[in-house]
Amino acid sequence: MENKFKIRAVIYARVSTKEQADGKESVSDQIRVCKKTIADHGWDLVGEPYQDVESGHLIEERLGFQRMMQDASDYKFDLVVVKDFDRFARNKSYATKARDDLKKMFIQTYSVATPVEPRDPKLYDPTDDDLGIMVEGFSDTMNEIERNKIRRRMTMGKVAVAKSGKIPNNVPYGYKIIRWIDEKNKVQRKVEVDEEKSIIVRQIFDEYTKGKGALSIAFSLTEKGVKPPRGKYWRAQAIKYILQNETYTGKVLWGWRHADYAKNKQRTLRDHKGIIEKGIHTAIIPEEIFKLAQKEKKIRGNSQKGRAKMSRGLLTGIAKCIRCGSGVTYLTRHHNRKNKNPKWNNTTTFEYLCGGYKYTGICQRRIMSATRLEEFVLNQIRNLVNNPTARERLIFDRNITITDNLEIDYKLAAKHLSDIDRRRERVKDAYEAGIDSLEVYAANIKRLDEEENKYHVVTDEYKTKIQMINERRKELEKFTKSLEDFNILWDNANLEEKKHFLRAIIKEIRAGNGKIEIDFRF
């Protein structure tokens, strides 16, 4: 097998997991096979083998590969020997790119698994290697198929784990993984609450539901020296991820996200569903608190972002121009009245202006004095505090009513539904006893099914309205509780807390031309 021409060969070996590093696909095994091949062919082995252990799937992250490419550009060798072409990458496109980059530098590649004899380096032309291209393409295709099989097996395994109530992937901040080897010499895994970190998670939910923003919480934790999940500083994005992670309520979520953003976007557009199961791990956050945080996030929307959040105006973010619908901006004006008359005092006024004025030019600039608008809103809230009838009218939808007829129909339907199963048994007994024919039996069963569906419609409507009324009643109780001792709470609250309270009960305010309209959330 010895070649008549001289070839300077190097070895590249790679494993991507600890299991491979210690198994039959280990780096040492790959190097041994490649060295034997080089010796059998009479090639010159130059330098130490290039190797990557537990490398990332991105070629840019492989230090051994990058050193090999640098040496290739310096023309230190002619041929790269690998045990199999998938050592460059299991991904077909990555493997092809790796070899193409080498070919541009007139470096040949040789796979022990699918060998194609190299050519004389002095005569080698990458464009004149049809057989090599065919073999490489076939090898890449087979490796891609094998890669997809492995991915499917892993996915199926993780789906089974998720359905059993176990977290199949890494645990979120606040939990820790305990591993041990059982009597069968198998690694076992258990998820437990990290007591120290779980306190931080509860603190994040508590502060957020009380009105503090994600960025403010991040700054506060960083200042206290609390170590973040990753990096040196807490980020708003990390806080938001914690707030929306349902794992903290004791549930297991799997298959809702994909690491690849483009694929994740397409899955979302096509309404791909993942798995949500009750987990066997301990919940850190009660489900009621989690739902409250999601509701809080929805309420805030864009009303507590950017300038609206930083503004000193109480109503920025929820107040709109009644003329054009644009948001408002808050302006503080200082009037140097002493310049005109030494006997006069300097004054400061506060105003809400139309945010769309400078963009459209078709609206008026001034909306209203901030003092007048804010006092009007607070007076409306105080009226609700002192008027239980107004509170109830605000909360309850007049369309949600249960008439006497609906209640009578519900009781009748419920009675019939409780009797349906017994009537089915009688019909079945008559058929089996030979009293009724198959046609009569089928007709009777169909009639009973239609009756059952009809009665279910009535009972479902009644139950739905009962549920809606109960939910509204809970909202009324919550709303009433939030209004109790309003004046005391308002006087002792800071600006951020006041803004949070207003956004919790007010959906939108429209002001301008001397008019003020308020839409409450309830």
Catalytic residues: 16
SS3 518: strand
Residue 506: strand pairing partners: 520
Residue 191: strand pairing partners: 177
> Which DSSP string corresponds to 48-71?
PPEEEES--SSGGG-HHHHHHHHH
Instruction: Give the span between the Cα atoms of 263 and 280, in whole angstroms.
Output: 30
Structure tokens at 499: 């803004």
In the structure, how many helices (H) and strands (E) does the chain have?
18, 15
CB atoms within 10 A of CB 461: 15
Amino acid at 185: N
Alpha helices in 311-364 (DSSP H): 357-360
Residue 130 burial (C-beta neighbours within 10 Å; 0-12, 13-18, 19+): exposed
Phi, psi dihedral angles at 137 (to 5 degrees): -65, -40
Instruction: Give the span between the Cα atoms of 459 and 461, in whole angstroms.
Output: 5
CA torsion through residues 122, 125, 131, 133, sign = positive
